[in-house]
């Protein structure tokens, strides 16, 4: 075959192999409401008695050892620190035992399946149901693939101030969980995955309404809707709502809708608004003030909504509001120290984070985060050096944090 023909074949192979879809494991549709129904919810003290660090007696090949288990609302999360492997289940007491049903995910490969866990009366269920910490607690389970699990509780969890921020509302889980990034649905789920805060991306529509969206343009990667195509800033909000949905079918939320959901429906303590467009700063600042008043009225004074400053352009747009709006600065630490309402300095992980600079920021009442950190070794390293991490894998960070 001539070189020309070989070249043509290669071009065609490349074109034919382009596939915008990510590999994903089996669809896991777990009707949590159905699972909740035949069981009685545990009390808060019972849930607390189940929270803890567990030795993996059986199932080490799947979960590694140890794992961290914790209730988040009505969902029981078991997170591995070995890899991005976690289980989310729901349930409660059924007679004298505890029954949980849910799914297990191996995020990096997209694999997963259903899983069931049981705590029998002889394994500590009676005490947990009564709301007291048992002397000995074992959780036994089995996955859809036939892997048997046995977890033995070793110790409880100590509260940690280390902040775990979920990227784009929920991180890489959005690719494989059937919930879109930057959606209200994903933000609601971030807490279940262990996040204490979320980072969301903000864009401005043509009629100056801030919405949650990451890309500059609408494309089949992120939205459904044949006619929603091209730059976000070309469309009015009503057009966006009428013509498209996020890739998994959710409405494209406005910033206000998303933040009201954070305030009303979650206990997330921090929201990082990632703003790339300087023209979005003014509308976001105005909305930020309104939302903080709303949060305060709802008893959510613990919530911080921070305007992210990633560039000099956004900084210039923010400076007229620097006395009024809380911010998170990604630029040099000097900028973070100079701005009176900067609450967090958040350099990218590739920037050298000097311990002396971190100490100076902490002494001034500011926190230090870094982003986006996904590797196990890097997460462990940064835990000793900063106050929080933005990650695509909140379950991994939480497992590493709580097992220390």
To another protein, the closest distance from the beta carbon of 96 in angstroms equals 47
To another protein, the closest distance from the beta carbon of 14 in angstroms equals 9
In this complex, which beta carbon is closest to another protein, that of residue 5 or of residue 61? Answer: 5
Determine contact, residues 68/79, Cβ cutoff 8 Å. Answer: yes
In this complex, which beta carbon is closest to another protein, that of residue 113 or of residue 225? Answer: 225
In this complex, which beta carbon is closest to another protein, that of residue 9 or of residue 359? Answer: 9
To another protein, the closest distance from the beta carbon of 185 in angstroms equals 15
Q: What share of the chain is helix, strand, coil (3-state, %, to 5)?
A: 35, 30, 35
To another protein, the closest distance from the beta carbon of 168 in angstroms equals 21
Reported as type and span, the H/E element at residue 103 is strand 97-106
To another protein, the closest distance from the beta carbon of 22 in angstroms equals 14
DSSP classification of residue 50: H
> Nearest CA to 345 among 332, 363, 326?
332
- For binding to another protein (CB under 8 A), which residues are involved? 1-2, 5, 8-9, 11-13, 15-20, 206-207, 217-220, 224-231, 234-236, 238-239, 241-245, 249
Determine contact, residues 168/158, Cβ cutoff 8 Å. Answer: no
Angle separating helix axes 281-297 and 255-265, nearest 10 degrees: 20
DSSP classification of residue 21: S
Q: Is 121 exposed, middle or buried (0-12, 13-18, 19+ CB in 10 A)?
A: middle
In this complex, which beta carbon is closest to another protein, that of residue 211 or of residue 307? Answer: 211
Q: And the tokens for 99? A: 């029954």
To another protein, the closest distance from the beta carbon of 202 in angstroms equals 20
In this complex, which beta carbon is closest to another protein, that of residue 216 or of residue 324? Answer: 216
In this complex, which beta carbon is closest to another protein, that of residue 15 or of residue 158? Answer: 15
């Amino acid at each position: 075959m001539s070189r020309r023909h070989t070249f043509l074949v290669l071009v065609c192979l490349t074109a034919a192999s382009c596939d915008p879809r990510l590999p994903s494991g089996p669809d896991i549709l777990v009707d949590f409401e159905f699972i909740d129904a035949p069981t009685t919810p545990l009390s808060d003290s019972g849930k607390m008695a189940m929270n803890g660090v567990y030795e993996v007696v059986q199932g080490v090949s799947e979960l590694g050892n140890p794992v961290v288990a914790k209730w988040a609302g009505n969902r029981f999360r078991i997170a591995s620190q070995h890899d991005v492997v976690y289980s989310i289940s729901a349930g409660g007491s059924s007679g004298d035992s505890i029954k949980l049903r849910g799914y297990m995910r191996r995020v990096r490969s997209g694999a997963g399946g259903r899983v069931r866990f049981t705590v029998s009366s002889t394994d500590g269920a009676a005490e947990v149901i009564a709301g007291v910490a048992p002397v000995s607690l074992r959780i036994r389970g089995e996955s859809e693939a036939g892997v048997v699990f046995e977890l033995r509780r070793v110790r409880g969890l100590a509260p940690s101030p280390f902040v775990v921020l979920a990227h784009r509302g929920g991180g890489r889980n959005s690719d494989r969980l059937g919930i879109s990034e930057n959606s209200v649905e994903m933000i609601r789920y971030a807490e279940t995955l262990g996040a204490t805060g979320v980072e969301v991306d903000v864009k401005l529509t043509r009629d100056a309404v801030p919405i949650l969206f990451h890309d500059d343009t609408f494309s089949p990667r992120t939205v459904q809707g044949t006619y929603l195509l091209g730059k976000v800033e070309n469309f009015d909000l009503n057009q966006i709502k009428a013509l498209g949905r996020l890739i998994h079918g959710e409405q494209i939320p406005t910033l206000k809708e998303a933040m009201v959901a954070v305030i009303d429906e979650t206990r997330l303590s921090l929201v990082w608004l990632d703003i790339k467009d300087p023209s979005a700063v003014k509308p976001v600042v105005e909305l930020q003030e309104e939302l903080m008043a709303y949060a305060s009225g709802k008893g959510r004074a613990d919530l911080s909504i921070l305007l992210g400053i990633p560039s000099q352009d956004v900084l210039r747009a923010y400076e007229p509001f620097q006395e009024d709006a809380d911010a998170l600065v990604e630029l040099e630490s000097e900028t973070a120290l100079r701005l009176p309402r900067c609450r967090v300095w958040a350099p990218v992980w590739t920037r050298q984070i000097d311990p002396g600079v971190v100490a100076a920021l902490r002494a001034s009442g500011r926190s230090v985060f870094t982003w986006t950190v996904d590797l196990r070794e890097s997460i462990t390293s940064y835990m000793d050096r900063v106050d929080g991490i933005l990650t695509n894998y909140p379950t991994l960070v939480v497992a590493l944090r709580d097992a220390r």
